[in-house]
Structure 1
């Protein structure tokens, strides 16, 4: 049985985004390395420089250090990202 991995999820999301672009979908995608989610994550994690390894690896590392399942941490962070993104600007 394959273990859950954010790197697998990242690959799946990127594959979906590429297929959407090929099919001329106007869907917005936040999960490119260097995209809105990873830029938010670097600030959230207090990283001075962006990670070339990508958001999935960095969340897996943080989850391992915290003793938390990586998928659980990802969805917690995703909820936080969406809440901040969707909050009305003053």
Structure 2
């Protein structure tokens, strides 16, 4: 289950967003609009594009937790620790694999894990 206190009730224009966190909150608000079939692989692709656009435009978003050249990013590293394993195939596919048995939508599990990740290192226990 996602942290309902973080969920915005009304969508914003893209020009009103200031970072990847704002962008992800817009996706959380209307995942069906952004992610065909609820695919986290589509989300991963969008975040790689977001990162590439930042590089092209010389923007440094210091807490960008996803893909960077040569790295899956801090979120993936945290996830490997959280799941007790490492994966070369990426966080999106691993989360989708996790839900195959649990019956929870992949997008919902992603946002639950994202909220946990953002709360900090104390949430990795368990």
Indicate the TM-score class for this superposition, using the shorter chain for normalisation: 0.7 to 0.9
Q: Provide the residue aligned with 1:63 in structure 2.
A: 99
- Secondary structure at the counterpart of residue 37 of structure 2: coil
Cα distance between partner residues in 1 of 2:82 and 2:108: 16
Residue aligned with 2:60, SS: coil
Residue number in structure 2 paired with 1:31? 66
Alpha-carbon deviation of 1:26?
1.2
Structure 1 stretches of 4+ moved >2 Å = none
- Compared CA separation, residues 27 and 43, structure 1 to 2 (3 A): same
- Which residues of 2 match residues 1-40 of structure 1 at below 5 A? 2-28=36-62, 29-32=64-67, 34-40=72-78
Count of matched residue positions in the alignment of Structure 1 and Structure 2: 85
Residue number in structure 2 paired with 1:46: 84
1:86 Cα deviation from its structure 2 partner: 9.2
Q: CA deviation at 1:69?
A: 0.2
Gaps of 5+ in 2: 1-31
RMSD: 2.0
Between the aligned partners of 1:38 and 1:78, the Cα distance in structure 2 is: 10
CA distance in 2, matches of 1:80, 1:20: 25
* Cα separation, 2, equivalents of 1:4 and 1:68: 12
Which shows bigger deviation, 70-79 or 57-66? 57-66
Looking at structure 1, the residues matched to 44 and 121 of structure 2 have their Cα atoms a distance apart, in angstroms, of 20
